[in-house]
Structure 1
């Protein structure tokens, strides 16, 4: 089985994030890196997080956005331990089956680290700009996922990504292309493998299936 995250250990993940995400030179305070209209929301979100403002100010913009996203996820009641991925991993471990990753934690963070600063700021503003209907939208996305509704899933992700095509390229397109290459390499090896990825990676013109098609492979949906 291949998963989109190799390690769910929060301590290890945080260490990697702060190691890669801490600026090595002078950097503007976080509030100065976003549109003034978002500064009040930023201050409120900083209070919700467990990270001091002084620490956030030393982070690269993308890293600060990821740290603060954790606070928004808590608001929505999202817990990575509840995901299908963790249940699959537990089943495989119980059967003593090997578990691999399509990317390492460092590679995943590296996609963010290569974003130009203007795009990092768009990402941060998207995290800070919480809407009153976010919880309802999240519920709709889960409903679409449960029903296997590709159009519904795509609609949810398109709403989140519409502010920045560059961000979509980082979060979805580039990673999907990387995963497709890894899957093709695995197909050249004997045996059967289950590949589990997030639903947002399986819809749209830059889905994993679309990337596989570019490499000459056809993915067929089975019920």
Structure 2
């Protein structure tokens, strides 16, 4: 795992790219529950339909999440969308991206973090092997490792599961971003926002009960996602980020969602059916894709 940012291990960064928009192991979408199933929205105008599905990027093996309604949407879709295009994810390209955006040899990580966070981090990783990395890269690495420790696997996540199915079925696939776009997004954070992001992840990883389990109810995010019970849980998760690290919220969610909305509006100008699979965090609240598309005048309905 550590060789990713040192030597561009393809497997690690492929997984990291898929969770780059989820911070921890998947967050949740908002809106009232419509049946016990992961949330799915339908956006339509006179001659176009786009289904919006909020994924968890990492899931345990054997978890059944596909429903007849999702499968029907997939079958009808002419094109299947994902967050990132992994077609160019060869080791040389990945290594170049990491060297350009994830490494800072002139300012070691050990000089950027507060002393308490540095001590906590040293209990989780070998500092000597990551001291050249930028805070966002370390935060992402810790998040992936935290997901794996909880039994979740990106290879079993909804995104890669649908990618494999679409590849098998020769479905046309499109992506909103490239891997470089995602790395550039994290690298564009201010120093303060980037350090705070890592500090938050360090503290999260140090807790016995991280956000994979909500302390108040004991209900896991995964359970809430699979049951579609997101109305109560989602606002606090996204609200925390918006309040505590507004720069990260703006870069990770708001600006990207606005760009993705523009892309989907262009698609709605044509005709047909499309299926969009993105991290469920991108479907939350007033800056989520359902709300933004509704504000553009489209009919938006949560159908699952």
State TM-score, norm by structure 1: 0.84
Q: Secondary structure at the match of 1:26?
A: coil
| 1:91 alignment partner in structure 2 | 165
Give the number of the structure whose residues are more often helix, by fraction: 1
Runs of 4+ in structure 1 displaced over 6 angstroms? Answer: none
Give yes or no for the alignment of 1:38 onto 2:114: no
* Structure 1: 5+ residue stretches without partners: 48-52
Spell out the pairing of 1:1-223 with structure 2 (5 A cutoff).
1-7=80-86, 11=91, 14-15=94-95, 16-23=97-104, 26-27=106-107, 29-47=108-126, 53-129=127-203, 130=205, 131-134=207-210, 135-137=212-214, 140-155=220-235, 157-158=237-238, 161=241, 162-223=243-304
Q: Which has the higher contact order (CA 8 A, sep 6+)?
A: 2
Distance 1:219 1:95 in 2: 28
CA deviation map 1:69-121 (0-9, x unaligned): 33222222232111111121222122211111011111112111111100000
Using structure 2 for the length normalisation, give the TM-score.
0.64
Query: Is the alpha carbon distance of 1:108 and 1:214 closer, same or farther for their aligned partners in structure 2, counting shifts above 3 Å?
Result: farther
Quote the Cα distance in structure 1 between the aligned partners of 2:93 and 2:281.
Answer: 22
For the aligned residues, what is the CA RMSD?
A: 2.5
Q: Does the CA contact (< 8 Å) of 2:193 and 2:248 recur in 1?
A: yes
What is the CA distance between 1:141 and its match in structure 2?
A: 1.0
Structure 2: gaps of 5 or more residues: 1-79
| Alpha-carbon distance in structure 2 between the residues aligned to 1:173 and 1:201 | 9
Q: Distance in 1 between matches of 2:86 and 2:287?
A: 25
Q: Per residue, is there more strand in 1 or in 2?
A: 2
Question: Matches of 2:145 and 2:301 in 1, distance apart?
Answer: 38
Q: 1:182 aligns to what SS in structure 2?
A: helix
| Aligned residue pair count | 216
Q: Shift in Å at residue 2 of structure 1?
A: 0.6
Aligned to 1:50: none
> CA shift at 1:153, angstroms?
4.4
Query: 1:154-200: CA deviations, max 9, x gaps?
Result: 14633762531221222221221111111112222343211111112
Q: Distance in 2 between matches of 1:205 and 1:10?
A: 37
